[in-house]
Amino acid sequence: MEEQIATTTQHLKKGNIILYPTDTVWGIGCDATNFEAVKKVYQIKQREASKALICLVSDLKMLEKYIEKVPEVAYQIIEFSDKPTTIIYDNPIGLATNLIAEDNTLAIRIPKDEFCQKLIQQFRKPIVSTSANIAGEPTPNSFKEITQAVLKGVDYVVNLQNEKINTKPSTIIKLSNNGEVKIIRE
């Protein structure tokens, strides 16, 4: 795993697009601060740029660096969540502008997965995480279900296929700074 983390980190630093196992499903990822890399992810997914992507951070400290004001309730949700939970925050900062939704929000998750944690810690920046499928097509449940179009579109495929257990996408909760809490996906 350490070798894969080192190689993947080098690809991210070059602005390359990766295909990697996340704490939920296989994901297409890149440096979340790199506008051109984010643009390539949208192209691979054939997704409208108006549909925002999810981003992964390693911990609360990194989250606080990229969100202007983290609502208090977010800390409780993160601490007590027993499954992967993505939270949509208001006013992200320091990230690629094409990653941020039109309403100035961004979906962020702190993965508990060992590979993702070590990768983000070594890279030291947030990483885009969007399901490894073309927009509108089903989310692949395993590496074998990822289409050739996605496999050929990325620059690097993390070689941990056999280690990824089939899971499902994360819960998504929108937290507005005005105190509003809304469940987007369970």
Arithmetic mean of pLDDT, 142-147: 90
Say what the pLDDT of residue 133 is: 95
Distance between CA atoms of residues 181 and 173, nearest Å = 7
Q: What is the CA angle 171-177-180, rounded to 5?
A: 55
Q: What is the pLDDT of residues 47-99, one digit of tens each?
A: 988 788 999 999 999 999 999 999 999 999 999 998 999 999 999 999 999 99
Residue 52: the pLDDT is: 85
157 CB-near residues (< 8 Å, 6+ apart): 18, 19, 20, 151
Structure tokens, 34: 């790199």
* pLDDT of the residue at 118: 97
What does the pLDDT read at residue 62? 98
Query: What pLDDT, on the 0 to 100 scale, is given for residue 79?
Result: 93
pLDDT at residue 162, rounded to an integer: 58
Single pTM value for the model: 0.92
In this predicted structure, what is the pLDDT of residue 180? 85
Contacts 24+ apart (CB under 8 A), 149-155: 149/44, 150/19, 150/28, 150/44, 150/45, 151/19, 153/17, 153/28, 153/43, 153/44, 154/16, 154/17, 154/18, 154/19, 154/28, 154/44, 155/11, 155/16, 155/17, 155/18
Give the residue, 47 or 37, on which the prediction is more confident. Answer: 37
pLDDT band with cut points at 50, 70 and 90 for residue 5: very high
Rounded to whole angstroms, the Cα distance separating 70 from 54 reads 16
Is it the case that residue 142 has pLDDT exceeding 90?
no
Query: Tell me: the pLDDT tens digits for 154-183?
Result: 999 999 865 555 567 788 889 888 888 888
The pLDDT, as a whole number, for residue 126 is 98
- Distances, alpha carbon 3 to alpha carbons 56, 118, 165, 173, in Å: 21, 11, 20, 34
The answer to whether 69 and 177 are in contact (CB under 8 A) is yes
Please provide the DSSP assignment of 132-145 as one string: SS-TTSPPPSSGGG
